[in-house]
Homo-oligomer: A and B are copies of this chain.
Amino acid sequence: MPISSTYIIGVDIGGTNLVVGAMPADGSREIGVHTLPTLAKLGADGVIDRICAMIETTIATTIRETGATRAQFAGVGIGSPGPLDREKGLVIITPNLGWTNFPLRDRVSDQVGLAASLDNDANCATLAEWWLGAAKGGRNVVGFTLGTGIGGGLILDGKLYHGASDVAGEIGHMTIDSTGRRCGCGNYGCLEAYASGPAIAERAREALAGGEPSLLNELCGGDLTKLTAAIVYRASKDGDALASEVVRETARFLGTGVANMLNVFNPDVVVLAGGVAQAGDSLFVPLRAEVKKRAFKPAVDACRIVPGALGGSAGMVGAVAAFLAEHPVA
């Protein structure tokens, strides 16, 4: 138990859950990781109290497990849905949490008495996969985070890229069908409108409307409002023809989005994180084929397309990495 190590706390703020944990600066382990419901209805002050209590729990666990002292904690990295103002540490707006121009970074920093950093949740997940996960060794990396929405992060020439006003990487809101499906953002034909979790479930419901028999009916107990992307992936693995077609369509939509990133950005790694990482070859094989059809050969040849490796702790790990990028420690 080296008492000279420096520890950083990572905080991943989601619309549904908060994940908090600690890591030594070398990323060698995760300590005191725990998850609690966000309870956005508590309001910003209530959520801040929950986050700070979780940070104290993680610090206590880390001290107990490693023999560290409180002085060995360098700070707190926070990953949050955006858009953000990183320099000022503000959350500009998060529909799911109901925050507007909220000074998240400084509120947490003041309450726990530690330095803090703030970055976008999808940027953090991408950074985590690059630091310790499936995108390790890449120099130009595109991360897709697939869940309720589709987010993204860009590592450029070995550095997280934020753009002119910290909103770079909104890959889910790239138009792939300019006259296509309405997206929650107000635009038409965004990738997210086809390949987010809810969009996959919606397309499955549409496919079922013709009355074709499918395992999906029983897997959601006859209540199609309970259909999820995870259920669609499971039915596809069990050989259900209708679910398999929905998965293959998903692969084509995602493949179009990935191909766009290859042609524009020419990355060496594309990492797809989130629930989709569990879909396996039934998704990734047709997805890679779609990319090969649509993108330039030198871009295809230069790039590996991989599922995320870090699962649910990616956001927390990436928040630690983002803190370290802003506050290098010895």
Q: Which residues of A contact B (CB under 8 A)?
A: 83, 92, 139-140, 152, 154, 156-157, 159, 161-171, 173-179, 185-189, 252-253, 256, 259-261, 263-268, 293-296, 298-299, 301-303
Contacts and interface: CB of A to CB of B under 8 A. Distances in A.
Given A92-B298, A156-B156, A175-B294, A167 B266 contact: yes
A298 B174 contact: no
A259 B189 CA distance: 12
A265 B178 contact: no
How many copies of the polypeptide does the oligomer hold? 2
A169 to B, nearest CB: 7
Contacts of A139: 164
Contact of A168 (B167, B178, B266): B266
Contact of A266 (B157, B163, B252, B256): B163
B161 A156 contact: yes
A167 B260 contact: no
A266 B299 contact: no
Contacts of A264: 152, 154, 168-171, 174, 261, 264-265
A282 to B, nearest CB: 20
Contacts of A267: 163-164
A161 B140 CA distance: 10
B252 A185 contact: no
A167 B295 CA distance: 11
A140 B267 CA distance: 18
Contacts of A294: 175, 187-188
25 contacts: A92-B298, A139-B164, A152-B264, A156-B156, A156-B161, A157-B161, A162-B266, A163-B266, A163-B267, A163-B299, A164-B266, A164-B268, A164-B303, A165-B266, A167-B263, A167-B298, A167-B299, A168-B265, A173-B295, A176-B178, A177-B189, A186-B293, A187-B293, A264-B264, A264-B265
Nearest to A252: B178
Contacts of A177: 176-179, 189
B161 A299 contact: no
A55 to B, nearest CB: 29
B256 A163 contact: no
A168 B256 CA distance: 16
A295 B161 CA distance: 18
Given A156-B157, A178-B177, A256-B175, A263 B298 contact: no
